Structure 1
C-alpha cells in the first residue's frame, strides 16, 4: 500500500547509545520490508510518535503499523499509545480517528512473549555461566578406529562363532548406518566373500543401481546406466533403475544395489535368462517390495550379501563393497 508506513515506538531515552541502537533496528526493518519506517519515542527524546502520526496524516498516509518496541504491556502501551486510538487488540487492522482524521492502525504486541526474544535473552545470560564442555576427538582416523573397535566388539558378542571377515563386513555396515541392530539383519551367503574377492582380483566391473552408490565406491571400474535407461524403461514398462541394471548386465559384473528394490527384482529376472552374476550386494530400504525381493534374492542361490527387512540405504551397500575392496588391496582376502 502506497499510503502505508511503519512507526517504531520505544519508551525513549536521553542517552545517545539508546537512540543509535534503535536507529539500527529501524534501518534493518525498512531494508527488509521496503516500507517507510519512522523511529519514534513515547517520552524523553524526539521525535515523539504523536508528531510523526500528525505529519503522516497531513501527507495522506493513513495506514500505519505501530511496531511497539516495549518488552511488556504496561501503561505506556495500553493507555498512552493504544488508548489514544481507542484500540485494545493486536495484529488487526482497526479504523480509528486521530486529531479528527480517519486512520487505519495496526499494533504489534510487545516483545516479552516472543520465543525469539526469550532465546536471545537466555543466550546473553548463559554467557555468565560457562558450561563444562566434553573433550572431543578431532582426528578422523582416530574417530574411525575407536568407532570400529567398539562396533567389532559388539558384533562379536552377538556372533561369537563368526569369522573375522564376516565380522568386518557387518561392522562396516553398522558403522555406515549408525544402527547396531542391523547386525542381526545382515545375511552373507556361503562363499559370497571368497567369490567377491576373487572376482575383484580379476578387475571385474561393478554395476550400481543409482549414482549415489557409484560415487562412494573406491574402484576404478564402476558402471551406472540410469541416464541411458529411460527409453528401455518405457518400452518394457519397468523402472529406470531396473532398466539400468538390464543395460549393464550384458556381461558378468558385481552388482551393488543400495536404493531400488526393483533393481533387485530385475537381477533375478536376468539371472533366469542365463547371465552369470558373481555377487549381488543388496541393501535397498522400503516397505513395498523391498522385504520380499531381498528374501527372493537369498533363496535364488546367487552369491549375495543382503540387509534383510525394511532397513537399508546406499551408504550401507557402499560400505560393504568397499570392505571387500579393502580386503583385496590389503592382504588379498
Structure 2
C-alpha cells in the first residue's frame, strides 16, 4: 500500500515570515503557497491542511495532540526549533515530524516543501506492512520511488544530470538533495571524459574513498589519491598549526593536480585550500565535486566554487557529505562505461 493511501489527514504548520536573502514570504502570500503546494502533492492523492502557526511550534504541537491529531508535519526555517527540545517532544509523540528549511532555499519554497514532506511521510510507512524483497528488487523499487517523487525535477534536467541526481538521492535517502545539487554547464561531460582517460580522483576523506566502488574504476585505471592520514601530513599540520585536510591539499598540489576529478564531501578547510590554489593557477581539476557539509564555511566555500573557471558540481547550503560525493563519482564512472 502506498504511503499516500494510508494518510488521511496531514496538518502542516509553517512559519515563513521576515525578510531573508531579499525574499519576503508574508501572510498574504501564504495562500498562494498553500494552493501551489496542494497542487504539487495532490497528484499523489494526499489530503492535508496547510496552516500558519501563530504560537511556538511546541504550543501548536501540543494543541494538535490534544485535539487527537496523530500525524502531523511541522515545517520551519528556524533552526533553533530543531534543537534538543523538539527532539524530546518528537520522542514523546513519535508521529509528529519536524522539517527544517534552509533560509537560502526560500525562493524554491513549494518544490522544497513538497520534497521535504514526501521525505517525512516515508517515516509513516508502518512496520506491519514490511515486505521482503530480493536484492535486485530493493534497488529497482528504490529508484522507482525516487523517480515517482521527483518526476517534475528530473524532467527539468539534462539526462546526464538527472542520472546523477537519482544516484545522489538514493545514496543519501534525502529527496531534498535533488533541489540542492547544482551543475556547471558541461560539468558531467567533463568528469566523464576525465575518467575515461584514466585520470586520478582526489578525495578528502577515507569515507569518500571507501564509497567509490564502481567496477569502471579499474576498467579505466583511475587511481584514488588521499593524503589525509599520511604521517607527513600530520607532521606538517602540527608545524603549520593548520588542519590535516588543508595540508593534504597542499601536498596533492605539490605532486601535481592537473586534470584530476576532485571529490570533496567532508572538509570545508580542504575545499577552501583548493580554491586558493585554483585561483593562483597551481591546480586545475577536470571537475570539482564539492559536497562538503557543516555549519562553518561549508555553504560559503561552495558558493566560492561556483565562481571558479573549472567545471563544478556542488550542493547549496550546509547539506552534503562523503556518501554524496562518492555517489556522484560512481555515477560518473557508470556514465563513462556507457
Same fold (TM over 0.5): yes
State which of 223, 226, 230 in structure 1 corresponds to 2:225.
Answer: 223
Question: Are the aligned partners of 2:279 and 2:308 in contact in 1 as well (CA < 8 Å)?
Answer: no
Q: Secondary structure at the match of 1:146?
A: helix
**Alignment RMSD:** 1.9
1:147 aligns with 2:142: yes
1:287 to partner: Cα distance? 0.6
Cα distance, 1:292 vs. partner?
Answer: 0.3
2:202 to 200, 207, 212: 207
Shift of 1:159: 4.6
Residue 242 of structure 1 deviates from its aligned partner by: 1.5
Look up the match of 2:190: 195
Q: SS state of the match for residue 131, structure 2?
A: coil
Q: 2:321 aligns with which of 310, 313, 329?
A: 313
CA distance in 1, matches of 2:263, 2:234: 20
- Equivalent residue of 1:247, what SS? helix
1:141 partner SS = helix
Aligned residues: 200
Q: Distance in 1 between matches of 2:257 and 2:137?
A: 41
Q: Structure 1 residue 227: deviation in Å?
A: 1.7
Kept after mapping to 2: 8 A contact 1:284/1:312: yes
Q: CA shift at 1:135, angstroms? A: 4.5
The equivalent residue for 1:11 is none
Matched, 1:241 2:245: yes
Secondary structure (helix, strand or coil) at the match of 1:180 reads coil
Deviations 1:154-200 (A, max 9, x none): 33312533122111111111111111112111011111001000000
Label 1:182 to 1:315 Cα distance change in 2 as closer, same or farther (>3 A): same
2:262 aligns with: 255
Ranges in structure 1 where 5+ consecutive residues have no aligned partner:
1-131
- Is this contact kept in 2: 1:152–1:167, CA < 8 A? no
Equivalent residue number for residue 294 of structure 2: 286
- Residues 139 and 256 from structure 1, CA distance in 2 versus in 1: closer, same or farther, beyond 3 angstroms? same
> 1:235–1:270: structure 2 CA closer, same or farther, 3 Å change rule?
farther
- 1:264 maps onto 2:271 in alignment: yes
Gap change, CA 1:287 and 1:133, over 3 Å in 2: closer
Tell me what 1:232 maps to. Answer: 236
Structure 1 CA distance for aligned equivalents of residues 145 and 195 of structure 2 = 29
- Contact 2:268 2:292 (C-alpha < 8 Å) held by counterparts: yes
Q: Which has the higher helix share?
A: 2
1:202-250 deviation digits (Å, cap 9, x = unpaired): 1011111011110111234111101221123234433101211221232
More relative contact order in 1 or in 2 (CA 8 Å, sep 6+)?
2
Q: Which moved more, 1:314-323 or 1:274-283?
A: 274-283
2-structure distance, mates of 1:142, 1:262: 40
Query: Is 1:174 aligned to residue 176 of structure 2?
Result: no
Instruction: Find out whether 1:299 has 2:307 as its counterpart.
Output: yes
The answer as to whether partners of 2:171 and 2:323 remain within 8 angstroms in 1 is yes
Aligned-residue offset at 1:140: 1.8
1:1-333 mapped onto 2 (5 Å cutoff): 133-218=128-213, 219-220=217-218, 221-228=223-230, 229-249=233-253, 250-252=256-258, 253-274=260-281, 275-329=283-337, 331=338
